[in-house]
Structure 1
């Protein structure tokens, strides 16, 4: 920690040693549907190449020494685009993915995010940071420090791909995020799978006890949506509702009949 004229100034290794990116990228947005309110709850920002290349192609270009810079640039890009695309009169959440292993010192690593939000007049209370279970985090205490720091600034926190990663339910023992996104592998064909229904019911029950919101992702059919709605899940995301749109906010394509008037 360095001292400045205004007091202690927190720094981290990534801030000074990470290499700049040698390529550019942008974002696509996919809606998150609130089945209770019958409206779009928010949008997830998904990294894309400038010609629409998928996340895998973009991520494959990120060298290890660029991971910190890429993580920071993704946050800024998502906020800048959302500030232009989100209607001013709607209360929407911007969901941004982050890589825990790219965060060295939480307070320092948030500096660019906070500056971007301030510059774009985008409220931090409208930003949700989600990290994937598929990225193994060996230091649970470090992850807890990240979540704690983010909450200080009003950010919502979420676990993505819940149920298909390294730690599973163990993550909820170490800390409790605001939201968990049930992985699509547990969702696919759930309407005809008693085993999947039992596992999801268990997750929903645990989340309720811990006061954690549940989102089901990867919805591809109305049958999947209906069984999950009956299980008590409120938030949904997937191709059945809308595919991601490059630098745009796609309209909900499939709306349950009972909810159609609420979304129109």
Structure 2
């Protein structure tokens, strides 16, 4: 289990929720930078202790345990990243509705990073869409507070679900991750190509870096590289590694 003493530095809202009745760990999938041939980040993805799927773990999260689960994910991701000697950024998903107050709920993250000697400026928070955002102003406050502390932020699954241009009109994360539904077979779909080009133009004007996720084929990658995207993630490069990291990749920008 995640160390409960570590969680005790968090806000009272988290501590008032019941302890988790299940344990979990993380797999890591690289986000690669083909512009300079490096691994930009490793995304921490929830898994069961025997590599059960994220869905099997998330299905056990209740409204009452959501807050503690969110905090526990942060702790476990940072602890594992330190244990595995990750030198790149580590990307951690967070649930916006699980953050009571940005300044209080971040304390556990900061304390864990200090204990593990993991630099705060190497932590990237991804706003996920497993639940509908209830309060846009609250999400904006979270993003702005995290950026002020030196964390990087990303909007996951852009182009699907509840998010979209409304998010970017209200606040700007450092990155957006293009949803894999937009990426799939983009080499064969003029409509998807036009949409992605439009999103990239918006990103340029707002100083946001796009990340193309869900890359599975060389043809998809080729089209996206022509659009001047630098950051990529997907099975084409590596599947998530259970409690380990993939480091030996062909990251030639050519």
Query: Same fold by TM-score, threshold 0.5 exceeded?
Result: yes
Aligned residues: 246
1:199 aligns with 2:179: no
Deviation at 1:175, TM superposition (A): 0.3
Deviation at 1:11, TM superposition (A): 7.8
| Higher alpha-carbon Rg | 1
Which deviations, in whole Å up to 9, do the C-alpha atoms of 1:93-129 show, x marking residues without a partner? 1000000000011111001100000000101100000
Deviation at 1:157, TM superposition (A): 0.5
1:248 aligns with 2:252: no
The counterpart of 1:140, out of the listed 136, 143, 146, is 136
Moved over 6 A (4+): none
User: Quick one: distance in 2 between partners of 1:133 and 1:195?
Assistant: 24
Structure 2: 5+ residue stretches without partners: 1-8
For 1:158, the equivalent position in structure 2 comes to 154
SS of the aligned residue for 1:119 comes to helix
Deviation at 1:208, TM superposition (A): 0.4
Q: So what's the TM-score if we normalise by structure 2?
A: 0.93
Deviation at 1:134, TM superposition (A): 4.7
What's the RMSD between the two structures over aligned residues?
1.6
SS of the aligned residue for 1:65 comes to coil
For 1:55, the equivalent position in structure 2 comes to 54
Which has the larger displacement, 132-141 or 64-73?
Answer: 132-141
- Tell me, yes or no, if the aligned pair for 1:98 and 1:130 is still in contact at 8 Å: yes
Change (3 A) 1:117 1:11: closer
For 1:215, the equivalent position in structure 2 comes to 211
SS of the aligned residue for 1:200 comes to helix
For 1:44, the equivalent position in structure 2 comes to 43
User: Quick one: distance in 1 between partners of 2:62 and 2:213?
Assistant: 29
- Tell me, yes or no, if the aligned pair for 1:191 and 1:224 is still in contact at 8 Å: yes
